[in-house]
């Protein structure tokens, strides 16, 4: 990644959002969802598992999970104890197993075994909040209904001065007002990549960041820049 030449002063979150988006396209133009999946059902299940867990860990669990329960009908009929054993390493496994079975039963009983394509219908499924629904709509169906707000997006939105809101819902509301709708899906994928590769929670690598000439939190003198 290129280094900045000088510090740039920006006055509004909208201006910083536009600059951030331009940098993300330069550095992460091919950014996509990191959860390994084959189709909307697997993506939905994997995203439910990703709560309070890394995508890397989820990807180690899902091959066995989907081999054992390849369809919503199979997962709906799963024994909770067996499912808990399979997903134990993702954390909160009892609640996640309950949500996975409930989600699968909802798909079978109300949606003909297919993952629905609307926010309202997805939110009616156990274990599905806006983050999960936005992941599925954007990645599986190319539908931009909102911006995925995970821990990386929330943290970087604060550091970049895009919003001071604290809850995921309000952060999302702020971001959709700053970004073109056609960029909502890309923006979250790319910002997550940036959060993992450069702007880490404890030690952001500001010296390697293309955005440090306009990021309010950037510093080249220390590595613990915080919003």
Whether residue 17 lies inside any domain: the answer is yes
Give percent of the chain above pLDDT 70. 92
Domain interval for residue 78:
40-141
Among 122, 141, 160, the domain-final residue is 141
| pTM exceeding the 0.95 threshold for the entire prediction | no
Number of H helices, E strands in the chain: 12, 0
pLDDT-based confidence at 171, cuts 50/70/90? very high
Report pLDDT for 219. 76
Same domain, 198 and 136: no
Judged against a pLDDT cut of 80, whether residue 2 lies above it is answered with: no
Judged against a pLDDT cut of 50, whether residue 226 lies above it is answered with: no
Whether residue 165 lies inside any domain: the answer is yes
Q: Any residues with CB less than 8 A from the CB of 50 and at least 6 apart, and which?
A: 35, 58, 90
Catalytic residues: 131, 150
Among 88, 114, 141, the domain-final residue is 141
Residue indicated by tokens 């990191």: 34
Cα→Cα distances 210→17, 143, 222, Å: 14, 29, 16
Whether residue 53 lies inside any domain: the answer is yes
pLDDT in tens, 76-132: 999 999 999 999 999 999 999 999 999 999 999 999 999 999 999 999 999 999 999
Same domain, 135 and 48: yes
Judged against a pLDDT cut of 70, whether residue 213 lies above it is answered with: yes
Query: From CA 166, how far away is CA 16, in angstroms rounded?
Result: 18
Residue 98 sits in a domain of what CATH number? 1.10.340.30
Same domain, 124 and 106: yes
């Amino acid at each position: 990644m290129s280094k900045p030449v000088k510090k740039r002063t920006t006055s509004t979150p909208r201006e910083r959002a536009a600059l951030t988006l331009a940098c993300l396209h330069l550095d992460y133009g091919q950014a996509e969802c990191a959860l390994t999946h084959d189709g909307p059902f697997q993506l939905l299940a994997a995203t439910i598992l990703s709560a309070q867990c890394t995508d890397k860990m989820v990807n180690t669990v899902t091959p066995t999970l989907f081999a054992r329960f390849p369809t919503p009908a199979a997962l709906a009929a799963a024994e909770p104890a067996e499912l808990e054993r399979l997903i134990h390493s993702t954390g909160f496994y009892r609640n996640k197993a309950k949500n996975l079975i409930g989600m699968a039963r909802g798909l079978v009983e109300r949606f003909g075994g297919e993952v629905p394509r609307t926010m309202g219908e997805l939110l009616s499924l156990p274990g599905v909040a806006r983050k999960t629904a936005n992941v599925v709509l954007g990645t599986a169906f190319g539908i931009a209904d909102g911006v995925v707000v995970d821990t990386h997006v929330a943290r970087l939105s604060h550091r970049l001065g895009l919003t001071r809101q604290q809850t995921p819902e309000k952060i999302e509301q702020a971001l959709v007002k700053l970004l073109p709708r056609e960029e909502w899906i890309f923006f979250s994928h790319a910002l997550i990549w940036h959060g993992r590769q450069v702007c880490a929670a404890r030690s952001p690598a500001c010296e390697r960041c293309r955005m440090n000439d306009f990021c309010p939190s950037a510093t080249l003198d220390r590595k613990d820049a915080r919003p």
